[in-house]
Structure 1
Amino acid sequence: MSGMTDSRTTLPARPRSILHVVRQFLPNRGGLEDVVANLAREQARLGHRVRVVTLDRLFSNPDVRLPARERLEGIDIERIPFSGSHRYPLAPSVFRHLGDADLVHVHAVDFFFDALAFARPFHRRPMVATTHGGFFHTNAQSRLKALWFAGPTRLSVRAYAAIVACSESDARMFAPITPGGVTVIPNGVDLDKFAGAASAEPRRALLTIGRFSHNKRLDRLLAAMRALGPGWRLRIVGVPSDVTVEALTAEIDRLGLTETVTLHVGLDVPAIRALIGQSSLFVSASEYEGFGLALIEALSAGLVPVAHPNEAFAWLKRRHPLISLCDFADPATVAGAIRDAYDSLAESRLDPGGANLPAAEDLSAYRWSGVAARYVAVYEAVLTGKDRGAGSSTPR
């Protein structure tokens, strides 16, 4: 089961009205938001009418209410109010925004996933869902999560005409509760956004990109920086989640890393690209990833990745040998792996006839044109009642 083949499909006989439902979206930046935005843009380019329904406040800035309707980066966005925790935000007005949608595409497993499923007999819209790691990004409340997954989630999946996993680990998780199997479509990646942006000269400069959340284990990354000692820099790029900027800053100060570690919050693409241009290595201590989008973006930029061997990163390592994996629970081991990765990069750059190792990785399977085509094939199979064939399938 690879799910990596770039399947092609002919355009549908007529454009479809597609509604994406996702809890957080633009102007917020993160892996989930980027995936939905890129998929929506590509589907619009193919001639479909695409809308996104999302919440009207960002979890990172809950006191600011965003416009109810807005068009950003060519995408029509409708925002709705919510109450309750950001872990399971309640937003029942989503039903008023289904409009003329031919198909509803729900992203992640949360209130939207459950509510739209249980109301399926009333709204009767065909639905597809993408798992995006489910809700197992951390071990917190693991027993409650397991019970919820075996109960409400098992019931909810039955309302969806197709469940799409963005990784094989997700597929293995959802296959036992999904009648008919799970379709695997790895996330697309904007390979042009940071293409070739890494420093032309090797630098002892590390970069990590992602939400400031507990599963990213930024504490372990800071411990590795302390073990590396002087002469190294780390830039942490992202947005606050369940770890605040204040908490991160305090930990950096406590470890005496204020001269070598900097935080960069809420940057746009050009600003991130500029930081990549000052870096040579990408690092991630993340214990859980639904797919590993930031790591693929790092490869496209020419950064050399050193990452924790979570299931998603281990899957990517089997396809991209340039990735180095080591257990970030051991700062000394991580420091050694980072030094080795830097030394290998420096040696390759010293050889005038040597290949640029980062550029040697073939990332073409992640291009959005192919990924969007596979999603359209899933949609068409759902809407026409045909068997799915757009991606690999994990049997029940």
Structure 2
Amino acid sequence: MTSAVADIQANKQAAPLIVHVVRQFLPNKGGLEDVVANLCRQLIARSYRVRVVTCNSLFSDPTRELPANETIDGIEIVRIPWSGSSRYPLAPQVFRHIADADLVHVHAVDFFFDALTWGKLMHGRPMVATTHGGFFHTPKYAAIKKIWFNTATRLSALGYNSVICCSQSDATLFSKIAKSRVRLIENGADVGKFANCAALEARRRIVTIGRFSVNKRLDRMLDAMKVLAARHADWHLDIIGAVSDLDKPTLEKEIAARSLEQNVSLHVSIDDCSIRNIIARASLFASASEYEGFGLVAIEAMSAGLLPVLNTNEAYKAMAETHPALMLSDFSDPEAAADSLTAAFERLQADDLTLRQELLRDARAYAWDEVAQRYMDVYSETLAPKGKSPQLLRQRGQAA
């Protein structure tokens, strides 16, 4: 072995190992998965070692078991068996795969968030968590969720050096139970993926992107489309996403029930190149979602030059305060939502691309290289008490 090769291997061994624990990961697609994957890619580029521990099947296809070990985009992935609910998957084998971690980063508030705290006396690893909206994705069981949050989640949060919130609404909520350990790091977005690809001229064509889940309220999106199609026949909606608690046949029935077959296209689990081609024919992005942890897809839409029209949930309201170009509407009222979408189209018709440039500029603030550095600063502060220099870790991140 040459000294150069030995030095490389020694440096790899010296690099901190960050183990990310998340209930779903690649090849599944969704906001949570995208955030973890992009963060891992940034860490690898900055000489960190990373591992992702996740469940061994997709919740949308639980009978198909995925490989126990796999590497995707240079990311080491370990998949473990699970049982129970997709919202709270029980997967105790997680403890086998964190023993060599310098730091464990838990994503979302679920079994892993609780179990790794309860088992901390056994594994002893420093930990941080990112909330990703907690578990308040729908108003269902709201009273029980509130009790759980103020008891079990409050106790579990004690095990984390930092509780990282990806939206101001999350930070407001979790500061009640984690106080000074709350850190606000808004999610990064892959702003290069669909960069500036939307149609340059105003078109009555809308894109909505996200999991096919009940809280996304695609039914309300379709209700608004029914109003728009009655007003002007060339309105079109492209629904892009992956199966979740709604499947393709169910959505096709919803479309047919409103006689929207000519005005709505459904795209299931398509690749980024195909999504880009669809966006290239559109001018607007819309989301009728009742709840978002952050609203990552709206940022990606802005980076494409699409003008977002968003339901007035807490995350979107906070986003609109920062980015006044965004438009909010009440999608529980189809007529009002249709009016907002029409107004958005008319704004683009009258625009000289100044609005588009504002959207592109605002989206660039969420570039992953900037966001990843904020995460690395948290890692440095967390690892410093273990004898690792925060300055050394920051230099390692900047050197790559």
Q: Same fold (TM over 0.5)?
A: yes
Aligned counterparts of 1:345 and 1:40: Cα–Cα separation in 2: 37
Unaligned 5+ runs, structure 2: 1-13, 391-400
Once the two structures are superposed, the pairs formed by residues 246-325 of structure 1 within 5 Å of their partners are: 246-325=249-328
Tell me if the contact between 2:104 and 2:128 (Cα under 8 Å) persists in the aligned partners: yes
1:351: which partner in 2?
Answer: none
Tell me if the contact between 2:206 and 2:285 (Cα under 8 Å) persists in the aligned partners: yes
Give the SS at the match of 1:159.
Answer: coil
State the shift of 1:179 in Å.
Answer: 4.5
Aligned counterparts of 1:232 and 1:110: Cα–Cα separation in 2: 40
Give the SS at the match of 1:160.
Answer: coil
Aligned counterparts of 1:27 and 1:53: Cα–Cα separation in 2: 13
Letter in 2 for 1:43: L
2:240: which partner in 1?
Answer: 237
Aligned counterparts of 2:330 and 2:182: Cα–Cα separation in 1: 30
1:44: which partner in 2?
Answer: 44
Aligned sequence identity (%): 53
1:360: which partner in 2?
Answer: 358
1:186: which partner in 2?
Answer: 186
Tell me if the contact between 1:126 and 1:161 (Cα under 8 Å) persists in the aligned partners: yes
Aligned counterparts of 2:356 and 2:247: Cα–Cα separation in 1: 33
State the shift of 1:280 in Å.
Answer: 0.8
Give the SS at the match of 1:307.
Answer: strand
State the shift of 1:20 in Å.
Answer: 0.4
State the shift of 1:296 in Å.
Answer: 0.4
Aligned counterparts of 2:43 and 2:266: Cα–Cα separation in 1: 35
Once the two structures are superposed, the pairs formed by residues 1-396 of structure 1 within 5 Å of their partners are: 15-229=15-229, 230-348=233-351, 354-361=352-359, 362=361, 363-385=363-385
Tell me if the contact between 1:154 and 1:177 (Cα under 8 Å) persists in the aligned partners: yes
Tell me if the contact between 1:158 and 1:179 (Cα under 8 Å) persists in the aligned partners: no
Tell me if the contact between 2:239 and 2:265 (Cα under 8 Å) persists in the aligned partners: yes
Aligned counterparts of 1:101 and 1:87: Cα–Cα separation in 2: 25
Q: Pick 1 or 2: higher relative contact order, CA cutoff 8 A, min separation 6.
A: 1
Aligned counterparts of 1:89 and 1:319: Cα–Cα separation in 2: 35
CA offsets 1:41-89 (integer angstroms, 9 cap, x no match): 0011010001111111001111111111111122111111101111111
Letter in 1 for 2:317: A
CA offsets 1:121-149 (integer angstroms, 9 cap, x no match): 11000000000000001001111111111
Aligned counterparts of 1:283 and 1:355: Cα–Cα separation in 2: 20
Q: Choose 237-246 or 31-40, whichever is displaced more.
A: 237-246
More helix by share: 2
CA offsets 1:3-23 (integer angstroms, 9 cap, x no match): xxxxxxxxxxx6211000000
Aligned counterparts of 1:56 and 1:295: Cα–Cα separation in 2: 29
Give the SS at the match of 1:137.
Answer: coil
2:397: which partner in 1?
Answer: none
Aligned counterparts of 2:208 and 2:166: Cα–Cα separation in 1: 22
CA offsets 1:247-270 (integer angstroms, 9 cap, x no match): 211111111111111111111111
Letter in 1 for 2:355: L
Aligned counterparts of 1:365 and 1:340: Cα–Cα separation in 2: 26
Aligned counterparts of 2:372 and 2:153: Cα–Cα separation in 1: 26
Aligned counterparts of 1:197 and 1:302: Cα–Cα separation in 2: 7
Unaligned 5+ runs, structure 1: 1-13, 349-353, 389-396
Give the SS at the match of 2:159.
Answer: coil
Q: Choose 34-43 or 333-342, whichever is displaced more.
A: 333-342
2:11: which partner in 1?
Answer: none
Letter in 2 for 1:94: V
1:392: which partner in 2?
Answer: none
Letter in 1 for 2:27: P
Aligned counterparts of 2:247 and 2:364: Cα–Cα separation in 1: 36
Tell me if the contact between 1:128 and 1:161 (Cα under 8 Å) persists in the aligned partners: yes
Letter in 2 for 1:358: R
State the shift of 1:201 in Å.
Answer: 2.6
Give the SS at the match of 2:121.
Answer: helix
CA offsets 1:308-327 (integer angstroms, 9 cap, x no match): 11111111111222211111
Normalising by structure 1, we get a TM-score of 0.91
State the shift of 1:202 in Å.
Answer: 2.0
Give the SS at the match of 1:178.
Answer: helix
